[in-house]
């Protein structure tokens, strides 16, 4: 049993796949400065995958999706009127049906105990359509696809089912949290309009702490795998991979895992195996690496095939992450992709993918970039400085560069002027999309106590499964740019102070700590993954 447990040879095989690319990369001297080459290439899709059988059931079928979003939260003010600014993601929908379970009291529940839980009665034939709806998000899943999979998996039926049963209880507990008393928490109790539903989030977070287990594949070698940048703009890749591998949420027993992490770094692939010859397909070596890795773990373990990747996740902050995920159609389509570039036009799907913040860490820490003065010591109305990338920034500069002393919009800051210093002097900090939707500016604003102004299209803001960005940020569309000053001055002082205060409160969710602290960015990313996992149900298949 479990022959995959002791076969480690395939990781060596993988090394042979990667090695030639690394050698080539070293020879042609891929320099770090080339990492920000933003040129776009046509996508390359590898061979199609055929003949997979599916055993994933979108759990909407049974109990409805877990969504902490509520559309009822109304934030006054907020500037831009009622424009449908919100590409920003409002996930609505709660459970539609009650789930009868005896939920065990809070406290540490060991996995062994969970094996005793009663299996829930799952109404598979019940095809009620459940919606998870925001303005643009509409998921309706009726069909139950259970196709036979390999015999080996049948034997794992029971432990998987028990694991799923436990998740069913969690779903019920999260739903109940809305109406029951809040649980004590020594560190932090989420509260306020920044949360779509603070009580549900809190419960969901506590359940995650008690239960969530992630299996991290050991295959693959650094620098591409088990490694990543911990500094600068793509710092979340290295930080997350490192802490995922050392956290208590990791399990070494895949039978006990709720999700499976593919520990690869897009930034490292770009650095080491980017094909620079302009006459050949630039994507090919990187996409081949992704595909080889998934093929490797998919052939060695039963888990990828079992869910067609739906309980697997990968994380990428680099701009090319979304494109590389296309190397494996099921990775793109089924897996949980945690991405900085949460661009819905590029296939980001908020009901299964996770938006993570891009956080610029100059020296790998948040030293010197946290905190800022109180609102009354912020003389400037609004500030932006940055390269004129992408479609939105030229419009911003055209209207506001050197136009008004209250609105400091610069291409580059004059020598001797501190960027962080400017953030700290400003009431509002503008965060427009550049080449890509993600930008570290939103987090920089939150870090320094400046109210972020998001001007982005097709963007799903980080943790918007939990956070209502409109309560602590101004969300504008490109058409609002000419009106920027009117809109910002139209926000009452009272409302501004509220947003500023809320921004300071949610800041903890974006902070990077060594080691991670509860409710910080590492745990919020993990929580978003947890929430996506709660919304699917993986089934083994009983013998026919």
Residue 33 interacts with ligand NAG (CB under 6 A): yes or no: no
Residue 437 interacts with ligand NAG (CB under 6 A): yes or no: yes
Q: Which residues pair with 361 in a beta bridge?
A: 232
Coil, helix or strand at residue 537: strand
What is the Cα 11 distance to its own chain's centre? Answer: 28
**From candidates 51, 186, 368, 405, binder to ligand NAG by CB under 6 A:** 51
CB of 43 to ligand NAG, least distance (A): 10
**From candidates 140, 371, 377, 486, binder to ligand NAG by CB under 6 A:** 140
Residue 323 interacts with ligand NAG (CB under 6 A): yes or no: no
Residue 136 interacts with ligand NAG (CB under 6 A): yes or no: no
Cis amide leading into 165 (omega within 30):
no
Q: Which is nearer to ligand NAG, 12 or 129 (CB)?
A: 129
**From candidates 34, 158, 253, 345, binder to ligand NAG by CB under 6 A:** 345
**From candidates 183, 299, 486, 493, binder to ligand NAG by CB under 6 A:** 299
CB of 437 to ligand NAG, least distance (A): 4
Distance CA 297, CA 289 (A): 12
Residue 169 interacts with ligand NAG (CB under 6 A): yes or no: no
- Opening angle at CA 462, ends 435 and 45, nearest 5: 55
- Which token pair is 31? 């320099």
Task: Please name the helix (run of DSSP H) or strand (run of DSSP E) that holds residue 336, with its range, or none.
Answer: strand 336-339
Q: Which is nearer to ligand NAG, 163 or 392 (CB)?
A: 392
Coil, helix or strand at residue 57: strand
- Sequence-distant (≥ 6) Cβ neighbours of residue 35 within 8 angstroms: 267, 270, 271, 318
> Segment near ligand NAG (CB under 6 A), from 124-132, 254-262, 404-412, 532-540?
124-132
Residue 390 interacts with ligand NAG (CB under 6 A): yes or no: yes
> Segment near ligand NAG (CB under 6 A), from 271-279, 340-348, 468-476, 514-522?
340-348
Long-range contacts, stretch 398-405, CB < 8 angstroms, 24+ apart: 399/481, 399/482, 399/484, 400/481, 400/484, 404/485
String of DSSP letters for 217-229 = P--S-TTTBS---
String of DSSP letters for 476-498 = E-GGGGGGHHHHHHTS-HHHHHH
**Given its phi and psi angles, is residue 262 left (phi above 0), alpha (psi -120 to 50 degrees) or beta?**
beta
Distance CA 463, CA 461 (A): 6
- Sequence-distant (≥ 6) Cβ neighbours of residue 412 within 8 angstroms: 385, 387
Coil, helix or strand at residue 243: helix
Residue 489 interacts with ligand NAG (CB under 6 A): yes or no: no
**From candidates 298, 309, 452, 516, binder to ligand NAG by CB under 6 A:** 298
Residue 398 interacts with ligand NAG (CB under 6 A): yes or no: no
**From candidates 162, 458, 504, 518, binder to ligand NAG by CB under 6 A:** 458
CB of 539 to ligand NAG, least distance (A): 17
Q: Which is nearer to ligand NAG, 93 or 298 (CB)?
A: 298
**From candidates 267, 289, 343, 408, binder to ligand NAG by CB under 6 A:** 343
> Segment near ligand NAG (CB under 6 A), from 193-201, 339-347, 482-490, 536-544?
339-347
CB of 301 to ligand NAG, least distance (A): 6
- Which token pair is 333? 């389509």
Residue 351 interacts with ligand NAG (CB under 6 A): yes or no: no
Q: Which residues bind ligand NAG (CB under 6 A)?
A: 51-52, 100, 127-129, 140, 142, 150, 180-181, 298-299, 302, 305, 343, 345-346, 390, 433, 436-437, 457-458
């Amino acid at each position: 049993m479990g022959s995959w447990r002791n076969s480690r040879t395939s990781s060596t095989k993988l090394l042979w796949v990667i090695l030639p690319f690394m050698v080539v990369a070293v020879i042609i001297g891929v320099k770090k400065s080339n990492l920000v080459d933003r040129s776009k290439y046509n996508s390359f899709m590898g061979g199609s995958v055929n003949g997979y059988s599916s055993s994933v059931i979108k759990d909407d079928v049974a109990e409805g999706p877990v969504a902490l979003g509520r559309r009822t939260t109304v934030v006054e003010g907020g500037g831009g009127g009622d424009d449908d600014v919100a590409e920003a993601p409002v996930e609505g929908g709660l459970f539609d049906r009650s789930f009868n379970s005896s939920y065990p009291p809070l406290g540490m529940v060991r996995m062994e105990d969970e094996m005793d839980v009663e299996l829930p009665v799952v109404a598979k034939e019940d095809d009620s359509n459940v919606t998870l709806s925001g303005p643009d998000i509409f998921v309706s899943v009726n069909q139950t696809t259970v196709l036979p999979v390999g015999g080996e998996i049948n034997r794992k039926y029971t432990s998987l089912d028990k694991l799923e049963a436990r998740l069913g209880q969690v779903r019920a507990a999260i739903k109940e949290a809305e109406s029951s008393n809040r649980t004590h928490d020594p560190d932090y109790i989420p509260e306020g309009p920044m949360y779509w539903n603070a009580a549900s989030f809190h419960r969901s977070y506590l359940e995650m702490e008690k239960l969530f287990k992630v299996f991290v594949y050991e295959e693959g070698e650094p620098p591409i795998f088990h490694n990543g940048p911990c500094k600068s703009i793509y710092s979340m890749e290295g930080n997350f991979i490192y802490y995922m591998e050392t956290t208590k949420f990791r399990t070494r027993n895949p039978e006990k895992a709720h999700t499976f992490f593919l520990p690869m770094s897009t930034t490292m692939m770009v650095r080491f195996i980017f094909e620079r010859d302009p006459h050949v397909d630039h994507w090919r070596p990187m996409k081949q690496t992704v595909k080889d890795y998934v093929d490797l773990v998919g052939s060695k373990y039963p888990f990828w095939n079992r869910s067609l990747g739906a309980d697997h996740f990968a994380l990428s902050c680099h701009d090319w992450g979304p494109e590389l995920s296309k190397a494996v159609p099921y990775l793109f389509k089924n897996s949980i992709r945690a991405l900085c570039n949460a661009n819905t036009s590029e296939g980001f799907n908020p009901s299964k993918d996770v938006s993570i913040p891009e956080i610029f860490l100059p020296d790998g820490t948040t030293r010197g970039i946290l905190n800022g003065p109180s609102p009354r010591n912020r003389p400037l109305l609004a500030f932006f400085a940055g390269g004129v990338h992408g479609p939105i920034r030229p419009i911003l500069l055209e209207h506001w560069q050197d136009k008004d002393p209250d609105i400091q919009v610069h291409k580059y800051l004059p020598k001797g002027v501190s960027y962080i210093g400017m953030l700290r002097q400003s009431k509002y900090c503008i965060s427009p999309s550049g080449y890509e939707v993600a930008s570290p500016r939103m987090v920089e604003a939150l870090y320094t106590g400046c109210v972020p102004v998001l001007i982005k299209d097709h963007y799903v803001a980080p943790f918007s499964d939990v956070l209502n960005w409109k309560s602590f940020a101004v969300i504008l569309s490109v058409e609002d740019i000419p009106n920027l000053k009117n809109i910002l001055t139209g926000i009452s002082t009272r409302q501004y102070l509220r947003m500023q205060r809320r921004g300071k409160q949610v800041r903890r969710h974006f902070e990077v700590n060594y080691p991670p602290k509860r409710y910080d960015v590492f745990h919020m990313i993990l929580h978003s993954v947890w929430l996506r996992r709660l919304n699917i149900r993986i089934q083994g298949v009983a013998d026919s």
